[in-house]
């Protein structure tokens, strides 16, 4: 399906306790609902004051989080003198009111607090903010704001929910202890508050990575994972446990609690339970491949690699866990052309053979696929368990889709 390049946006604007009505509708470039820089710019222009998007209020589209009609709540950072305050109708008041599982940064007060924390930390480290923050992204999983600093090098504020995400600053420190150039520099971290302040990483996201980038990034991650497994630091880091046998037990528990509206048929649920019951023999063969349990990035697709042509950095560690490294090895496949995937699989396998002589990484890549899909079914269900109702369209069908993928690959010859 071709993705829409725009969405029709309406913004419910507030300033403190005052409501200034809907702004729009207007067309916003970029179809992804979570991308808000264009929404911020147009709303600020129409309102006559700087604004920031607080959260998605409602979306309507056939493309799941993309295109269609979208409604946001935005907070004006100054009182918009050109607009008249009004009393919202009951429906709007309900949309803007409190909700269970709302993210801390998805409220006006929480958003202002996160920005104030970032500015204070930048001052503390000698890089005071030098201009208005530019909000780039906000959704149920994270918020991302770019802040210019007095040094001329921007900083990035990332907000996540600690209840279901890794402590990214600690994960970055672990990997950076092996390969400092592999990870983005951390300027400040507030793990309890889910806040991370990062130095800007030059370059672009590697959605279409070159052969040279693959040959650079993949062996360096493998080297770091092997080192953290060998000295025990990965196992001692308190990461979420997604090791194969634990993952299997968690998958059983997920199947027992899945509600009816998942879209899975009774036959599919029965087949999924049968698959989970039959996987212990696969785990034995996977263990015989010789790869250690270690820190797993959790979302190691090329969009989370950045490169300026000379230096490659891996970003976004919110999904990190303790698990089997083939979960990371398999992740890029869905994002790469067949030729590049063949190269990556060969590079990944060769790197692990160098660090664990006698291991069979290529066979591990073949065996891990059902576990890979089960791990993402669990992860997407974690999202659904921890996000408010208006954000559920982003992930509503994802656990069922991953379970179907697990069933599909289980019946294919490996």
Q: What's the rounded Cα separation, in Å, for the pair 67 and 9?
A: 10
Domain's final residue, options 62, 97, 132: 97
Q: In this model, does residue 410 exceed pLDDT 90?
A: no
Q: Are residues 142 and 12 in the same domain?
A: no
pLDDT digits (tens, 9 = 90+) for 166-202: 999 999 999 999 999 999 999 999 999 999 999 999 9
Residue 1 lies in a domain: no
Query: Angle at which helices 266-278 and 398-410 pack, to 10 degrees?
Result: 60
Side-chain-facing half-sphere of 392: CA atoms under 13 Å: 15
Residue 67 has pLDDT above 90, yes or no: no
**Strand ranges (DSSP E) for 91-142?**
134-138
Q: Looking at 289-337, list the stretches that DSSP marks H as alpha helix, in order from N- to C-terminal side.
A: 326-330
DSSP string for residues in 383-397: HHHHS-GGGGGGTTT
Instruction: Give me the CATH number covering residue 155.
Output: 3.30.200.20
Q: Do residues 322 and 363 both lie within one domain?
A: yes
In terms of domains, do 298 and 399 share one?
yes
pLDDT tens digits for range 359-379: 999 999 999 999 999 999 999
Residue 259 has pLDDT above 70, yes or no: no
Q: What does the pLDDT read at residue 266?
A: 87
Mean pLDDT of 20-48: 93
Task: Indicate left, alpha or beta for 196 from its phi (over 0: left) and psi (-120 to 50: alpha).
Answer: beta
243 and 333 assigned to the same domain: yes
pLDDT (tens digit, 9 = 90+) per residue, 374-409? Answer: 999 999 999 999 999 888 888 888 999 999 999 998
Show which of 199, 233, 268 is a domain's final residue: 199
221 shares a domain with 132: no
Domains of the chain: total? 3
Does 82 share its domain with 114? no
Which residue among 177, 199, 221 closes a domain? 199
- What is each CA distance from 295 to 174, 215, 332, in whole angstroms? 9, 20, 17
Do 58 and 95 contact (CB within 8 A), yes or no?
yes
Q: By residue range, what is the domain housing residue 19?
A: 6-97
Q: How large is the average pLDDT for residues 297-303?
A: 97
pLDDT number for residue 214:
97
């Amino acid at each position: 399906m071709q993705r829409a390049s725009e969405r029709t946006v309406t913004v419910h604007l507030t300033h403190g306790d005052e409501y200034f009505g809907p702004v729009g509708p207007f067309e916003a470039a970029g179809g992804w609902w979570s991308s808000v820089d264009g929404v911020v710019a147009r709303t600020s222009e129409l309102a006559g004051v700087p604004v920031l998007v607080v959260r998605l209020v409602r979306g309507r589209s056939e493309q799941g989080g993309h295109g269609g009609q979208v409604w946001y709540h935005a907070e004006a950072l100054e009182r918009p003198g050109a607009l008249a305050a009004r009393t919202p109708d009951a429906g709007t008041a309900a949309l803007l009111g409190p909700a269970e599982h709302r993210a801390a940064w998805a409220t006006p007060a929480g958003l202002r607090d996160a920005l104030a924390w970032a500015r204070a930390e930048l001052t503390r480290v000698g890089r005071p903010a030098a201009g208005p923050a530019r909000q780039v992204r906000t959704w149920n999983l994270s918020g991302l704001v770019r802040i210019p600093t007095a040094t001329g090098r921007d900083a990035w504020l990332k907000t996540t929910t600690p209840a279901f995400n890794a402590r990214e600053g600690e994960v970055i420190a672990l990997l950076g202890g092996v390969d400092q150039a592999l990870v983005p520099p951390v300027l400040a971290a507030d793990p309890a508050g889910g806040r991370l302040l990062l130095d800007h990483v030059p370059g672009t996201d590697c959605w279409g990575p070159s052969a040279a980038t693959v040959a650079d990034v993949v062996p360096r991650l493998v080297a770091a994972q092997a080192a953290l497994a060998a000295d025990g630091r990965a196992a001692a880091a308190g990461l979420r446990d997604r090791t194969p046998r634990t993952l299997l037990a968690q998958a059983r528990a997920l199947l027992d609690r899945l509600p009816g509206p998942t879209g899975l048929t009774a036959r599919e649920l029965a087949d999924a339970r049968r698959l989970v019951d039959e996987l212990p023999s696969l785990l034995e063969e996977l263990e015989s491949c010789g790869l250690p349990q270690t820190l797993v990035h959790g979302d190691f697709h090329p969009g989370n690699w950045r490169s300026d042509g000379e230096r490659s950095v891996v970003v976004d560690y919110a999904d990190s866990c303790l698990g089997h490294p083939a979960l990371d090895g398999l992740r890029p496949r869905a994002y790469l052309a067949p030729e590049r995937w063949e190269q990556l699989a060969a590079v990944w396998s060769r790197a692990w053979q160098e660090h664990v002589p006698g291991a069979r990484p290529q066979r591990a890549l073949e065996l891990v696929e059902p576990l890979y899909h089960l791990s993402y079914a669990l992860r997407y269900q974690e999202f659904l368990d921890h996000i408010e109702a208006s954000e559920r369209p982003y992930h509503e069908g994802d656990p069922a889709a991953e379970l179907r993928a697990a069933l599909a690959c289980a019946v294919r010859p490996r």
